[in-house]
Amino acid sequence: MIAPRRARRIRLPRFADVRRSRYLTLLLAIAALLLLSPFLEASRRDRILYGVLTLVVLIAAVRASTQAGHRLRFIALGVGLIWALLTVIDVVRPGDAQRLAADGLFLAFSAYTMSAVLGRVLTAKRVDFDILCGTAAAYLLLTVTWAILYGIIETLSPGSFAGMTRTDFPEFLYFSLTTVTSLGFGDITPINPFARVWVGLQAVVGIFYMAAVVARLVSAYER
């Protein structure tokens, strides 16, 4: 008679695990940006608040994606400072040029951050609290990155999206969330061919992420 397999015990994260986590700060920073974005308007005060929240995300991304003492940390900090300067200029004197430059820097650094985080997640030999935080942070950062990309497309080609009540970050973030999760409510529709391509790519990446990354975590947990 085969003995029943003992159930695996689930260990809750301890305080030391939370304190040592490289990705918890990034996850909390992105979550704060997501939760507070619906309350942001086009006023100068709200634009300053958006800049502060995004800067916190960048600072957390520096810690999550670079090793202490590594020269990449200084490069990342330099990118963050340039982004902050461009954001301040855009708040004082709004313009498409500085906004596009700041968004381009954010896209480049977020792409590097996601590759670094996913690289560690996919090569992890065991699943712990830090790996789970990294998995969630990379998924949410993917959503924020695509939202900013949609904003760039709309700036370069106004009217690329139909059904939008306003063309700002909260609206693009909502559209990005419904796309990456494949909900597709249909209230916002891409019209520009270039926008359609990137919307389709985000849906594919979202599905691939859930299939590949989650399967990898399950495999590592079983081992």
pLDDT tens profile 159-189: 899 888 777 888 999 999 999 988 878 788 9
- The residues, ordered by sequence, that sit 6+ positions from 51 with a Cβ below 8 Å of its Cβ are 84, 87, 88, 91
Name the more confident of 83 and 10: 83
Q: Provide mean pLDDT across the span 110-129.
A: 83
pLDDT of residue 88: 82
Name the more confident of 115 and 2: 115
Say if CB 138 and CB 220 are below 8 A apart. no
* Domain ranges (residues) in the chain: 22-222
pLDDT at 41 over 50: yes
State the Cα–Cα distance between residues 134 and 211, nearest whole angstrom: 16
Query: What is the pTM for the complete model shown?
Result: 0.84
pLDDT of residue 15: 46
CA distances from 52 to 2, 36, 59, 78, 135 (A): 59, 12, 10, 17, 24
Sign of the C-alpha dihedral, residues 85, 26, 52, 177? Answer: positive
Extract the tokens encoding 84.
């902050």
Q: Provide mean pLDDT across the span 183-203.
A: 89
pLDDT of residue 184: 75
Name the more confident of 1 and 59: 59
Say if CB 213 and CB 118 are below 8 A apart. yes
Task: Name which of 31-40, 55-64, 140-149, 209-218 the model is least confident about.
Answer: 209-218
Domain 22-222: which topology? Helix Hairpins (1.10.287)
Q: Tens digit of pLDDT for each residue in 67-109?
A: 544 666 677 777 878 888 888 888 788 888 888 888 898 898 8
- List the one residue out of 87, 85, 106 whose CA is nearest residue 152: 106
Write the single-letter amino acid at 183.
Answer: L
